[in-house]
Amino acid sequence: MDIKTLTSGALIKHPSRGLLLGTGPFRESAEPPDSGPAFYIDTFRLDDPRPWKIPAALHALPAEGNPPPPAPEIRWTEPSPDTYAQVFAEMMEQIAAGQLMKSVPAIPQFGEMLLPHTPRELILRAISSSPSHYPYAWWTEREGFCGITPETLFHQQSRRLETMALAGTARPEDEGVFINDDKEIREHEIVAGSILSRLSPFGSVTRTARSVLNLGTLIHFVTYLTLESDEQHTPAHWIRLLHPTPALGSQPRTENTLAQLDDWRSRLRCPLHFGAPFGFLEDGDFFCLVGIRSLYWQGQRLALCTGGGVVASSTLTHEWRELKLKRDTVRRSFHLP
């Protein structure tokens, strides 16, 4: 099946079922279907009134498909640090006042893909990425997005829920310094502790020790958590409980801090779907990714968005460099110039 010719589609890599492709026309619903497959595709704000996208057909794709087309020419525009610096200063002011422990500004870099290439080719590049990542995509005739994320929001099988804390970032060659970096450790433990506290009221939670996940181009601290829930809950319940984790949201997570984060993201022109949950449901099994390491398009116009956690020990120079490091990593993952 030639993805480039599909006018609409949804794609996800499932941990046990491999690559799954949903093809249209799609039926959109506020609730998941009683039977059959459905994709969950929402904004970061969780404000899509019909986030369940039910495909006309579902296809299993081979793990290794056709090689991606030749690299397209993309004219990138360097992002300006001015608005980011203002947002960063506002975050640090609130952290100093004790109103915030952490927040995550996200800023895009814009580009133009030159014809005859089209952004839908990016989906083929996502599929051929590292096996340690999860490709995902959603597109219509004129717009869409795709990504290659290492992060899962959760995997629900009946009353068992598996999730992860993924926060703290460095280059692989800096691992010796990274494992003792107080700022990176604190950022990670804020995320892991928050997830643990959210899950604990619902049953028995176990967590692994903090470790380093090496993804080739970047390393992160990772902690895995498993919940055996006392009761059965819907995927929507867990999505609203866990999204956004402090790896992409704010700590503490309140209506005020999330509204402030939404304002910061808007001012930075962050795409609405960056960091949003992206999931797949069938036969009671719901697998949900965190939509990062992604590219967004309208027509030939592209946006490559990355975010980074700001805590009390953050500095503007370090955070700006980390955002560039992440952008470069995304481009390498897509084999893009």
pLDDT in tens, 4-40: 788 899 999 999 999 999 998 999 999 999 999 999 9
pLDDT band at 64; cut points 50, 70, 90: low
Helix (H, G, I), strand (E, B) or coil at 297: strand
pTM for the complete prediction?
0.92
pLDDT band at 132; cut points 50, 70, 90: confident
Measure the CA–CA gap between 239 and 91, rounded to whole angstroms: 26
300, 118 Cβ separation under 8 angstroms: yes
Query: Pairing between strand 152-157 and 285-290?
Result: antiparallel
pLDDT in tens, 294-316: 999 999 999 999 999 898 999 99
> What H or E segment, with its residue span, contains residue 113?
strand 106-113
Instruction: For the chain, give every domain's residue range.
Output: 3-67+74-333
Bridge partners, 156 (sequence order): 161, 286
Q: How far is CA 101 from CA 50, 195, 213, 279, in A?
A: 33, 15, 24, 29
Query: For 124-147, what is the mean pLDDT?
Result: 90
Measure the CA–CA gap between 143 and 129, rounded to whole angstroms: 22
Determine the CATH number of domain 3-67+74-333.
Answer: 3.60.120.10
Output the pLDDT for position 66: 61
What mean pLDDT is reported for the chain? 93
